[in-house]
Amino acid sequence: MSANMDETVSVGYEAWADALRSDRILGVSCSDCGATYGTPISVCHDCGSRNLESVDLPTEGTLYSVTRVEVPPTGFEGPYHVGIVQVGAARVTARIETDADDAPPEIDDSVVFSGVMETDDGLPAPVFTTETS
């Protein structure tokens, strides 16, 4: 048997979601070429390897981009901020929160992983909060 099925599952979405609910952000890293991805995939985009291992991504990062959504989809109450956070070598999409008195989040702001939100249909998403200086 060429592939270890358990290992494949260990780096998939369920593991990512479970980890998120335990205050960890899982990415994957390629054992063959070292490329790191912010969300699990089954095959390395850089070298084609299937030897991807889960890695804990840093819980502090910087905003790579961010927007304030004022017209939300059904199931969400706006306005809110969604951003792409650079965490180490990877990026993750997350809800971005600020303290009430803080200015709106901007690119290059320092943010810290502060928890998880969950949709009505049970899908989790990471939440980062801007660090007050």
Partner 1 sequence: MTRASVVGTGMTTFGVHESSLPELFARAALSAYDDAGVDPADIDAFYFGNAMGGQTENDTHLAPTLATEVGLAGVPAQRFEDACATSANAFKNAVQAVEAGIHDTILVGGVERCTPETGKGTGEMTRIFASASHRQYEQPTGLTFPGVFALLTKRHMHEYGTTEEQLAHVAVKNHGNGTHNPRAHFGSETTVEEVLDSPIVADPFHLMDCCPFSDGAAAVVVTSDDSAASFDGPVDVTGVGHATDLVPLGLKPTLHATQAARDAATQAYEQAGVTADEIDFAEVHDCFTGAEVLASEAIGFFEDGQGGPAAEAGRTALDGDRPINPSGGLKAKGHPIGATGVAQIVELTEQLRGEAGDRQLDDPQRGLAHNLGGDAGTTVISIMEART
Report the interface residues with partner 1, using CB under 8 A.
13, 16-17, 37-39, 41, 45, 64-76, 78, 80, 82-84, 90-95, 107-108, 117-119, 123-126
CA-atom Rg of the chain in angstroms: 16
Q: Which is nearer to partner 1, 9 or 107 (CB)?
A: 107
Work out how close the CB of 43 gets to partner 1 at its nearest, in angstroms, rounded to a whole number: 12
Q: Which is nearer to partner 1, 43 or 53 (CB)?
A: 43
Short-list 83, 86, 18, 12, CA closest to 52? 12
Q: Which is nearer to partner 1, 3 or 71 (CB)?
A: 71
Give the span between the Cα atoms of 133 and 129, in whole angstroms. Answer: 12
Work out how close the CB of 27 gets to partner 1 at its nearest, in angstroms, rounded to a whole number: 9
Let me know: does 98 contact 131? Beta carbons within 8 Å. no
Exposure string of 27-45, with b = 16+ CB inside 10 Å and e = fewer, is: bbbbeeeebbbbebeeebe
Give the span between the Cα atoms of 13 and 19, in whole angstroms. Answer: 10
Q: Which is nearer to partner 1, 2 or 93 (CB)?
A: 93
Work out how close the CB of 12 gets to partner 1 at its nearest, in angstroms, rounded to a whole number: 10
